[in-house]
Each structure stands twice: as structure tokens, then as C-alpha cells.
Structure 1
Amino acid sequence: MKKYVRGTAIVGVLTLAVAACGSKPSDSASSGSSANKDFKACMVSDSGGFDDKSFNQTSYKGLQDAVKERGLTEVKAESKSDNDYTTNMTAMVSAKCNVIVAVGFKLEDATEAAAKANPNIKFAIVDSAPKAPIANLKPLLFNTAQSSFQAGYLAAAMTQSGKVGTFGGLQIPTVTIFMDGFAQGVRYYNTQKSKNVQVLGWDDQKQKGLFTGDFEDKAKGQNNAQNLITQGADVLFPVAGPSGLGGLQAAKASNGKVNAIWVDTDGCISAEEYCSVLMSSVEKGMDVAVKDAVISVVDNKFDNTQFTGTLQNGGTAIAPFHDFDSKVPADVKSELDQIKADIISGKITIESKVQPKAS
């Protein structure tokens, strides 16, 4: 997998959208190159949908980028609930897709079953890896514990109350990996600075914490965030997809008393209406990983080797500070850079058990 550099080549694309639950597909075409118009690049979202301002949306951008750059035909199925995964995966197989990308841990069973049953189709899945390799399935994983460690340090450095809070959607590895890194980053700050900043909402040692129970309900996210704020947290780290947007709503409603750090993508771009309360974001380079996986199939260079995004290869990172650039002290910025270097070198070891193996 090549190092993370965003491409800019734009050519035409034919798009066919296949919706869940039997909705009528729609298609549209635009002018430009159609050199590979018979090649179908396909994607199935999880229940958060393609406009979740988070991992589905970022992954979908990768599909779109590949389609535009190579003149492919796009086919996508948006899942409205967990019950749609097998149905949508079957629809992609029936559409005679050349490559099918599944977005999210929750699609692993449907994806693995489809890959085993259709060895002539190439598959990729974001945030999951089969227990045993499958020849036509490429896992795309990200060690977000590393960048979340930086986020935890940043939160601890910026809190005024001495309390920071986090909550998740579901207690699954792709969520708790963020929360583990965040908690350990706060702990590292406390050790380095002889402070006692508290983490509310997650105990990484006991693996117990606060969850909404889904990724869709913004009201639940807002309630969880408000509970954390009531307990004194003035920096929030929601790891809950669209549900987490409720946490940003709670922060914005505080009129400057509470701020947040977003996940999966740069929140100042994906959810710019909340940029005024976002110190930074923990980014996963899902768009580039998906694009590379799709293009590898176009170029007959596909392999099933797991890709793991890290701080070293740019597959995960903390986003720019945007509106907080002048508010984050220069020494904190320098310390964050040193933490990155120390994680890469192995001087700092993160202890989250759900970190993916290095690729």
C-alpha cells in the first residue's frame, strides 16, 4: 500500500446507486474518460450510512476517488440497519461487481461469507480481518490507538476542569481502540507533568465505560455527552459515528465551556458546523486505503495482505487544529510531535489489546 498522498486526477464516472430494502436503483452519468466503464467498483455501508460525517463517508470518498481517476462504474448499497448487510452484499454480487468494499466491523460475517462463495470477485473490508486469510479478501485496518494517544495528551493539556470524557457507540474493538489510546494518552500526560487529569466514560484497564448502544441516535450521544459535562468534563471524545454528533451538539451548546475531538475524519471538513468546538480530530486514512485497494484490482495487482494504517505510514494521524491553532501552546504542539516520534520508534508503547498487528 502506498504512502498516504491524496490524488487530484478527475475524470468521468457513471454511478449506479443500489439502495437497501428493495428501493429502486438510480443511475447517472457524467462526461469524461470511460476507459474502464465495464469495471464495477462497489461498496456496502454499515447502518450509519454514507453521509455519517465519519468512517462510511470517508471510505466512500475513496471509492469515488478511484472511480473518477480510472473511469469506473460505481455501485453502492447503503444499509439502513444491521439486517441489510447480507441482502446488500448479495445485491452487489448479483450486480457482477469486480470489487466489493465493505465498510465496518459489523459487516465481517456477510463479507467473509460472500468472499468464500464468490472466489472470482475481489473484496476488501474496512476495520476487520478474517481469523484465517481468505484469498480474495483484503483487510484494511488502522491502529488508531496511536493517534488517539496523541488526542488524549492534547485533551489533558487543554482541559481547564481537570476532567475529560469519552463515550462510544458499541463496545467493539474498532471503537474501544480509540478510547484505549485516549485514556493512555491522558495517563502519559499525568506522568510527564505530575498532574491528575481524570478520564470519565472509559476505564481502559477494566474495559468498562459509557456507550450509546448504536451509531445512529444523536439524542443518545447528546445525553451521554451531557452526563459527562455534568460530571465536570470540558473536553469530549465521542467515538460513535453519527450518534457522536450529539456530543458535538452538547459541546457547541455550552457556549465555549466545552470542546471536543472528533474521530475517523477531520471534523472541521466533514462536520464543519462544529469546527468552532473541535480542537482536532483522529483521522483514519480510509479514503486512500479504499482507493488503493480498488485500483489494485483494476491493475491486476490485488493481494490479500492486510494493510495496517499507522502514524509511521500516515494511515492515521491527528488533524490540524484549525480554529484552535492559536490556542494550543507551542510547547504542547512540540510535545505532540515528539510523542508521534516516540510511538514510531517504540519508545512509547501503547497497551491496547485490540490494536491490529503491523502489516
Structure 2
Amino acid sequence: MFKKGISLLLALLLVVGMLAGCAQKAPEQAEKQEPTEKPLKIAMVTDVGGVHDKSFNESAWEGLQRAEKELGIKAGYQESKQEADYADNLELLVDQGNDLVWGIGFLMGKQVKEAAENYPDQKFAIIDNAYKETPKNLMGVLFKEQEAAFLVGYIAGKMTKTNKVGFIGGMDFDVIHRFHYGYKAGVKYANPDCEVFEQYAGAFDKPAIGRSIAESMYGNGADIIFHAAGDTGNGMIEVAKEKNKYAIGVDKDQNKDAPENVITSAVKRVDNAIFNVAKDLKEGKWQGGSTVVYGLAEGGVDIAPSSNKLVPKEILDEVEQLKKKIVSGEIKIPQSKEEYESMMK
């Protein structure tokens, strides 16, 4: 009887011990948290101008940095030193596990599309290019550069004292044509008698060439030059400072580079486009297989905020009226030589 009682007591103690052990584990289980959602990884491949080109590559990187700060994404970039780097850089960013890979610039259009076809489960996007047939995992972003260029051209036509102004283009293709002929149309709209010097540098990363062209144009009487040439155009701005001439920047507000010389800039909000796509992606929206276009109406292009430092108020008031006419469609801005020549007729 006594032995049976002891055995029963030991069994009871064993059960209580097991229950106590389970009770001790419960708080640990309660403290376990659901795994946090991994931040989106978005990275970009720069064009040859590099991430500090004071132009569209830098603007794109600013958009990613803003997305990192405000949306919590993880941003990165890979710089291209030459066009041969594009494909390898795109593949490197895919290998790094990025959710979205950007190609910055028209020149890598072919490589971005090939990468999208080679990696159908990877999302890609490109600035300044569109495709006749866009893969579902790729989206293009274009801008109505001609609208901003027309406005700065109007300012140049109104402010020139010599009746001679200049344009320096980076490379001879559609994106720069929109700047070129939009600017020329704006100059002529403001001042039909003004002469426009025009030259393409053949590169976006050669400030020395920009310097050489600018020295020639200023030497021939131009008192204002607009560039759409990336880092090449920064050479022109340096000459404007040295010769105390006026310059017009591009893509970003370049007044800070020469506060007494850069009267305005044709601003192209690549940063806004990059940020907006990141925001959409985080919210589960993806416009793959399509092309998004940003103009004045969409807040994608404009003149620089610093324009009021050197441009007279009456001219800026006229510019504001022109903006309304452009957005309404009353004024159609040419984006090619053919459209410009048709407009002039």
C-alpha cells in the first residue's frame, strides 16, 4: 500500500514537472515575432556621365535616395565608364537580387531590353526610351523635353543683347532633338531675328569638347548658350563663368554651378519619375509592358526655380502664360527637325 502511494506520488510529480516545463516555454513562444518584410531593393546603371554628372544620372540617383529615405527601399547604383559596361552592369544588379533594375539613358535601350528578355522574372525600367513591343517585365519612361526647352529658348530670345545664342547637344538622337528643336522654336517665338548657333559634341562625358564649342560660339558673338550634353555641357558653363557670359543648364537646376551666369535651366524631373515608380512598386502597382510620359502637365519638366534670380519678372510672367498654352494644347512644341521646319512655315 505504501509503495503504491509512493509510485502514485512520483507519477503525479512527473506530470506536474512536465506541465511546468510547458508553462515555462509559453512566454518564449509568445515573444516570437513575425519576420519583418524585406525592403525593396532598387538599383540603377548609370550612363557614361556617371552618378555625379550634375545632369540626368545625378537626378536619377537623387530620386532613388529620396525613395530610400521616404519609402524605406534599399538603393544602389553601378557606374558605366563606357558603353561596353552596360550589359555587364545590368547583369550584376540582377545577380545582387534587386527587385527593380533601372537603365538610365537612351543609349542602353538595346541592352536593357535584352536583359529583360533574358531574365523574364526580373523587373526592369529605363529612362528616355520606349519600344514598339515592350516586354511585360520592362517599363519605359519618356519626357517632353521640348516643352521645357521651348521655355528656356523663349527666355534666351528675350534676354540676348547680341541677337545670337547657341545650342550644344550631347549626341545626335531623338532625346536631344527634342531639346534642340524645342529650344530653337522658343528662341524664334520670342525673337524671330535671333540667330541660333548649333553643334553636337558627340559625347556626354567630355567637358573639354564642351569648352571648345562654347569658346567658339561665345567668340562669334553668342551671349547665351543652352546645353543638353550632360557632363560635356559643364565645360560650357565653365567658359561662361570665365568670359562672364550667360548659360542655360539642363536636367537639374544648374544655377548653383555658376550663380551669376546660369540664368535658367530646362529641368527634367528624372528624380520624380524614379521616385514615383518606386512608390508604385511598393504599393503593388507595376506598369510593365508600357511607357509613361512626363511633360509640363505631369510635373515632369519645367524651368528651374532659380530662374527668378537673373531673369526679369516680366519675362517670367510671359513664361507662365506660355505654360498654360502648352498644357492646353494651344501651342504645340516641335520635337524634331521636320516638326520645327513645319512650324516655321
| SS of 2:42 mapped into structure 1 | strand
After TM superposition, the structure 1 = structure 2 runs for residues 195-344 of structure 1, keeping only pairs within 5 Å, are: 195-201=192-198, 210-255=199-244, 258-268=245-255, 272-304=256-288, 305-322=290-307, 325=309, 327-344=310-327
Where structure 2 has 5 or more consecutive residues not aligned to the other structure, the ranges are: 1-34, 339-345
Provide the alpha-carbon RMSD of the alignment.
1.8
In the alignment, is the contact (CA less than 8 A) between 2:179 and 2:335 conserved in 1? no
Q: Which amino acid aligns with 2:131?
A: P
Quick check: 2:158–2:190 contact (8 Å CA) kept in 1? yes
TM-score by length of 1: 0.81
Aligned twin of 1:65: 66
Counterpart position of 1:87: 88
The one-letter code sitting in structure 2 at the alignment partner of 1:342 is: K
Q: CA–CA distance in 2 between the matches of 1:220 and 1:43?
A: 27
2:109 aligned partner: 108
Q: Read off the aligned partner of 1:347 and give its amino acid letter.
A: E
TM-superposition CA deviations, 1:66-87 (whole Å, max 9, x none): 1222322223211011110001
Residues 59 and 82 (structure 1 numbering): CA distance in 2 closer, same or farther, change over 3 Å?
Answer: same
Query: Residue 152 of structure 1 contacts residue 184 of structure 1 at CA under 8 Å; is this kept in 2?
Result: yes
Structure 1 counterpart SS, 2:258: helix
Residue type of the alignment partner of 1:160: K
CA distance in 2, matches of 1:227, 1:282: 23
Larger Rg: 2
1:349 corresponds in structure 2 to: 332
What code does the residue aligned with 1:301 have? K
Task: State the alpha-carbon separation in 2 of the partners of residues 64 and 320 from structure 1.
Answer: 21
AA of the residue aligned to 2:216:
N
The Cα shift of 1:179 comes to: 0.9
Q: Distance in 1 between matches of 2:87 and 2:133?
A: 21
Identity rate, percent: 34
Question: Displacement of 1:308 after TM fit?
Answer: 0.9
- Distance (whole Å) between structure 1 residues aligned to residue 323 and residue 160 of structure 2: 21
CA distance in 1, matches of 2:144, 2:37: 33
Give the C-alpha shift of residue 38 in structure 1.
Answer: 4.8
- Paired residues in the alignment total 303
